[in-house]
Structure 1
Amino acid sequence: MTKGNLKLMLILGLLGIVLLAALGGDHLTVNDPYRTDLAQSLIPPSPQFPFGTDNLGRCVYSRVMEGASASIFSALIVVGAVFVLGSLLGILAGYLGGWWDSAIMKITTIFQAFPSFILAVAIAGMLGPGIRNAILSLAAMYWTTYARLARSLVLKLKDETYIQAARMCGAQKRHIILKYILPNTLPPLINTAVLDIGNVILSMAGLSFLGLGAQPPLAEWGIMISNARSYLQTAPWCMAFPSMALFIVVVLFNLLGDSIRDRLDARGGR
C-alpha cells in the first residue's frame, strides 16, 4: 500500500468514526443533553460531566455528541442538494447551449454578484431562523459553483472526437450525456463537493452563531458556541469543546478532499 493510499484510508477511517458517532450520538451521551439544572451550572470538567456544564447546567459533552448529527448531516444535505442541482444545470447549459446556457449563466452571475455568506445571511433573514431555512439559504449560496464547473467541463468535452462520433452515429443527447459526459465530469465535481463539506459545516455554524440557523434548545455546535460567548473567561470549556469538535471535523473533510484531489491529479498525469 502506497503512502497516499495509507493516508486516504486513515482519513476515511477517522471520518467513519465521526459519522458513526454522529449517527449514534444518543447512545454515546452520558447525561440528558437537554436536561437543565441551575444548581449544576458552569461546573468544570469532571467524571460526571466530562466536558463540564453550561450556564443552564446541561452536560456539554452530551450536547456536543448530540449536536454532531445536526451540524454534520445538515451540511451533507446541503452539499448533496447543490451537487445534484448545480451539476445538472451546468451539464445541460454546456451541452445544449443557446438560450438555455445564456439563461442559466445569467442567473449564476446574479447570485455570484453578492458576497457568498452575506447572500446566505440575507436569505436566511428573509426566510426566518431555523435549521431548515439555513439549509435553503446555503443551498442558494453554493449551487452556482457546481453549475459553472460542470459547464466548463462539458464545454471541453463536447467537441472530443468520441463524442462527435457518437453524435454522427445518431446517438441521442440523453444517451451522450449519460454515457460520455457525466462519467467524465463526475470526478472533479465530487472532489469539489468533498472539499465544500467543511466550508458548509462552518457556514451552518456561522448562521447558527448569528441566530439564523438552529434555534434553542437544539444542540448544534454553532449555537453552543454562540451561547458560550458570555462565559468565555469564567467557563471556557463551554466554548472550547464544541469549537474543537467543529475544528476536527472540518479539518478531516478538508484532508479527505485534498487526498482525493491528489489522486485525481496523479491519475490525470499518467
Structure 2
Amino acid sequence: MKIVKKSNGRNHWYVDTETGERVPGVTTVLDQGLPKKALINWAANATADYAIDHWDELSALAPSARLTKLKGGRYAVKDEASNRGTQVHKMGERLIRGEQVVVPDVLRPYVDSYVRFMDEFQLRARYIEAVVYSVDHRYVGTLDIFGDILLPDMPEYDHLPRDTDGFVCNTLLDAKTNRSGIFGETALQLSGYRFCQFMQPDPDDPESAFPMPEVTFTGAIHVRPDGYSLVPVVTGPEQHRAFLYAQQVGKFVQTDRDLIGEPIEPPTASRYALVKADEAEAVAY
C-alpha cells in the first residue's frame, strides 16, 4: 500500500498507487458510518435563522423560488463555517512552521487564539498535516499536529512520560473551529489516526512513510474567537474498535441498495374474486 494525496480546490482524496484505487479517509468513514444527531437540529435552526435574516428577500419571491432558497439556506451557513475553519487551519499550519502570515480581520480573533495555544503550551510540532494510514484496515487520514507540549504539573498527567525539559512527547492534536465545541466522534477520529500503522510526512511521496510512532496523549484544540481550550480526548483500543464498526456500517450503506432485488412477477394470473356482502356482483381482487 503506497498512498498519494490528491487535491482539487477544497476537496482532497487518497489513492493507493499500487492498485490505483481510492482509499477512504477517516472523516469520510465517520460521515458515512456514524449518525449525526446534532445535524438534525442544526439544519432546522440554520434554516430558521436564514429565513429570519432574509425575510424581505424571501417575501418577494414566488412560493416555489422561496422554497428553493430555504432548502439551500443552511448550506450557506455551513460553507461559511467550513471556509473559516479551512483558513484558520492553513494559517495555523504556516505559523507553526514559523512563517509570517497576513491575517484578514474576520479571522484575526481565531488566529490570535491559535497563537496563544502555541505559546502557552509551548508547542513543539514535529509533523504537521501528515498523512497516516492503516494497511490492515485500508483507511487513510491527515492529522493536524504531532509533536510535544508542556502540560501542567498536575496529578492527572503524572502517568504521561515527559522528557528532561518536562514536555509530554508524541502528542496527537486536532484543531476544531466550530461553535458547538468538541463532539464525541472526535474520539473516533483521533483513534483512527492513532492506531494507523504508518505516518507519511510528505503527502506526495509514499517513500517518506515510516512506522507510526506510539502516541502518548490525544487532544482537541477548540479554537474560538474569544480564546481556546485544549481538551483531552480518550482514544484507546475500544474507541478504535468503534471506529472500525463505523467503517463497516459505512461500507454497508454504500451498497445496501444492491441487496434488494426487483419485484417478482407472479407466474400465474389470479383466479380469486372479492364478493361484497351487500351486492350480488363479484369484483376481481
State whether TM-score is above 0.5: no
TM-score by length of 2: 0.29
TM-score by length of 1: 0.30
- Relative to its length, the structure with more helix (as a share) is 1
Q: Quick check: which has more Rg, 1 or 2? A: 2
Higher relative contact order structure (alpha carbons within 8 Å, sequence separation ≥ 6): 1
